[in-house]
Amino acid sequence: MIRVTIPHHLRTLAGTGAELQIEVNGPVTIGAVLDAVEISYPMLRGTIRDHGTLKRRPFLRFFVCGEDLSHEPYGTPLPEAVVSGKEPFMVIGAIAGG
Amino acid sequence: MSGVRVLVGTKKGAFILTSDGKREKWQVSGPHFAGWEIYHVKGSPVDTNRIYASQTSGWFGQIIQRSDDGGKTWHQPGTPAGEPRTTPEGMPMGESNKFVYDTASAPLTTHQFYDGTQHPWEFKRVWHLEPSLSDPDAVYAGVEDAALFQTTDGGKSWHELPGLRGHGTGPMWQPGAGGMCLHTILIDPKNPKRIFIAISAAGAFRSDDGGKTWKPINQGLRSEYIPDPTAEIGHCVHRIALHPDRPDVLFMQKHWDVMRSDNAGDQWHEVSGNLPSDFGFVIDLHAHEPETVYVIPIKSDSEHYPPEGKLRVYRSRSGGNEWEALTKGLPQKDCYVNVLRDAMAVDALDQCGIYFGTTGGQVYCSPDGGDNWAPIVRDLPAVLSVEVQTLK
């Protein structure tokens, strides 16, 4: 079970708490986690990455085990701590006023 | 018992204000979608329980919400509760917030940026939702960067009408201060194939074939401070209004001047008359008097608040040129709010009600055609849009 934390506005959209728990079939990569989130929570499709380009939305970042993976390719494997569920894959919104 | 339902979009959520036909006592519901920018909320004219909302965020993109019970409950129409979350092929549903330009039919061009350089065309948000006059499942959406989309399945999926963006003048379109937005969509009630739209800052366009092809309708507009003041493209149109009984007559609040066309936009002439400013955003018409026009003058260009700190609605009963200030119940000193382009509406009760919302969070109502005003609410987040449903 992969744990994914999401920001407040996405929790209200998905009707969840701060943490999602998802299954990933096959290699656990950044892209595979995002795919699994969107399949389990289709209302989040387009909110984390752009619908058309699939690029990460510019005001969001991805952190894992204290490392910033925001600019890594979607095929990047995630560490064992995430695969085992010990550590979450974190989707974080920029703190930018508003 | 007749009544009204006022749909308010704000910087931090949507609010629904309801009253009976007297429009004296109000119930306030909201915030809906708290914390999100709600650019526009509008109900279907053929099913008042059906309402659509554009929910948007610089962080999380575009969401479309729909209510089937007059705003009591909402859902994203692409992800209805209890239905499969994936297609049989395993792909995610949730297409209701998918606004992807139809690049196969009209390749993405660039558009002019503020500094005159060319800039990529990128979807940002839905500014305006215009439900069909005959089908509650059909809605047009005007978006930034400017394009026109349509749903015919109640908002579950959206597709672009690419003829507008592919008109050929796209590289000359440029953003106004709010972005390069398609903000006005008017459907001719006597000829649903005829659609008017306006883009800031490109100008007004008309389609006579249901949105397949478009022609610019900007002759007669004059915009000082653009390189060619009478150019076919490049005018900063803020809002257009028409009366359903007389859809060939259009009224426009432009960045500079209030304009009128008597031939569906083929030719415009100025009707600013004695207005205290040549600038403003909103314009609307009395529900029962096609020659009665309302505007709210704002001081241009960068100040964007009422002249002299007096919040005044101006009414012309002669189709323009001669305007009277309506001030009863509105602040007449120290008022420095703005009224944005989608933030005025009228109801269709026998005594026509006029409504507008301000960036200071007030929503005002005049139940008597503008003679007397009172705030419905005073302290909402900055108001982006106001629409009214007349409940009979």
Q: Is residue A18 part of a domain?
A: yes
- Closest chain B residue to the Cα of A95, Cα to Cα: B59
Task: Between B82 and B195, name the one with better pLDDT.
Answer: B195
Closest CA to B33 of B89, B86, B74, B83: B74
Written as six digits, the tokens of A19 are: 């943490």
Cα–Cα dist B283/A43, whole Å: 36
| Chain A contact present for B107, CB below 8 A | no
pLDDT for position A95: 74
Q: Taking 60 as the threshold, does the pLDDT of residue B162 lie above it?
A: yes
Scan residues 35-94 of A and list those with Cβ closer than 8 Å to B: 38-48, 50-52, 57, 59-60, 93-94
Q: Quick check: B362 and B375 in contact, CB under 8 A?
A: yes
Range A22-28 contact pairs with CB under 8 angstroms and sequence separation of 24 or more = A27/A77, A28/A2, A28/A77, A28/A78, A28/A82, A28/A83
B279-285 and B293-298 as β-strands: parallel, antiparallel, unpaired? Answer: antiparallel
Mean pLDDT of B267-285: 97
By residue range, what is the domain housing residue A56?
A: 2-93
Task: Please answer yes or no on whether A51 and B101 come within 8 Å at the CB atom.
Answer: no
Q: Taking 80 as the threshold, does the pLDDT of residue B82 lie above it?
A: no
Cα–Cα dist B76/B66, whole Å: 6
Task: Please answer yes or no on whether B59 and A9 come within 8 Å at the CB atom.
Answer: yes
- Segment of B24-38, B77-91, B113-127 carrying the highest mean pLDDT: B24-38
Give the number of C-alpha atoms closer than 13 A to the C-alpha of residue B251, restricted to the C-beta side.
26
pLDDT for position B89: 59
pLDDT per position as a tens digit, B349-383? 999 999 999 999 999 999 999 999 999 999 999 99
Which residue ranges of chain A lie beneath pLDDT 70? 96-98
pLDDT for position A94: 82
Structural domains in chain A (count)? 1
Name B301's Cβ contacts closer than 8 Å, sequence gap at least 6.
Answer: B255, B279
Cα–Cα dist A95/B4, whole Å: 39
* Burial class, B369, CB count within 10 angstroms (exposed 0-12 / middle 13-18 / buried 19+): buried
CATH number of the domain within which A55 lies: 3.10.20.30
Written as six digits, the tokens of B82 are: 């209890």
Mean pLDDT of B310-322: 98
Confidence tier at B93 by pLDDT (50, 70, 90): low
Task: Between A39 and B30, name the one with better pLDDT.
Answer: B30
Q: How far apart are the first and last CA of chain B?
A: 6
Q: Is residue A32 part of a domain?
A: yes
A89-93 and A2-5 as β-strands: parallel, antiparallel, unpaired? Answer: parallel
pLDDT for position B88: 61
Q: Is residue A98 part of a domain?
A: no
Q: Taking 90 as the threshold, does the pLDDT of residue B116 lie above it?
A: no
Mean pLDDT of B118-125: 92
Mean pLDDT of B257-264: 98
- String of DSSP letters for B104-155: TTS---EEE-TTSSEEE----EEEEEEE-SS-TT-EEEEEETTEEEEESSTT
Task: Please answer yes or no on whether A42 and B61 come within 8 Å at the CB atom.
Answer: no
Longest CA pairwise span in chain B (Å): 63
Tokens 């060939």 map to which residue?
B248
pLDDT for position A71: 96
Chain B residues whose CB is inside 8 A of the A61 CB are none
Cα–Cα dist B125/B39, whole Å: 9
| Alpha-carbon distances of B121 from B172, B181, B200, rounded to whole Å | 12, 11, 14
Cα–Cα dist B131/B47, whole Å: 10
Task: Please answer yes or no on whether A52 and B100 come within 8 Å at the CB atom.
Answer: yes
- Closest chain A residue to the Cα of B11, Cα to Cα: A98
Confidence tier at B176 by pLDDT (50, 70, 90): confident
> Which among A45, A50, A59 is the top mutation candidate for probing chain B, defined by the most B β-carbons within 10 Å of its own β-carbon?
A45
pLDDT for position B14: 98
Task: Please answer yes or no on whether B61 and A59 come within 8 Å at the CB atom.
Answer: no
Written as six digits, the tokens of B157 are: 């999926």
Scan residues 57-96 of B and list those with Cβ closer than 8 Å to A: 57-63, 76, 78-79, 85-86, 90, 92-95
| Alpha-carbon distances of B93 from A43, A47, B21, B101, B382, rounded to whole Å | 8, 14, 42, 18, 33
Q: Taking 70 as the threshold, does the pLDDT of residue B83 lie above it?
A: no
Q: Taking 80 as the threshold, does the pLDDT of residue B79 lie above it?
A: no
Name B98's Cβ contacts closer than 8 Å, sequence gap at least 6.
Answer: A45, A46, A51, B78, B157, B158
Name B119's Cβ contacts closer than 8 Å, sequence gap at least 6.
Answer: B110, B111, B112, B113
pLDDT for position A82: 97
* pLDDT, averaged across chain B: 94
Q: Could you give the residue ranges of the DSSP H alpha helices within chain B? A: 162-165
Q: Which among B57, B85, B95 has the least Cβ separation from residue A39?
A: B85
Mean pLDDT of B178-202: 96
Task: Please answer yes or no on whether A46 and B100 come within 8 Å at the CB atom.
Answer: no
| Chain A contact present for B372, CB below 8 A | no
Where are any strands of DSSP class E within A1-98? 2-5, 19-22, 60-64, 67-68, 89-93
Cα–Cα dist B319/B261, whole Å: 10
Chain B residues whose CB is inside 8 A of the A94 CB are 59
Tell me the nearest-neighbour CA distance from A13 into chain B, angstroms.
9
Q: Taking 70 as the threshold, does the pLDDT of residue B243 lie above it?
A: yes
Query: What helix, strand, coil percent values describe chain B, rounded to 5?
Result: 5, 40, 55
pLDDT for position A51: 83
Closest CA to B252 of B183, B302, B355, B326: B183
Chain A residues whose CB is inside 8 A of the B95 CB are 45
Q: Is the pTM of this model over 0.90?
A: yes
Domains and CATH numbers, chain B: 3-79+96-391 (2.130.10.10)
Counting residues of chain B whose pLDDT is more than 90, the rounded percentage is: 85
Q: Is residue A29 part of a domain?
A: yes
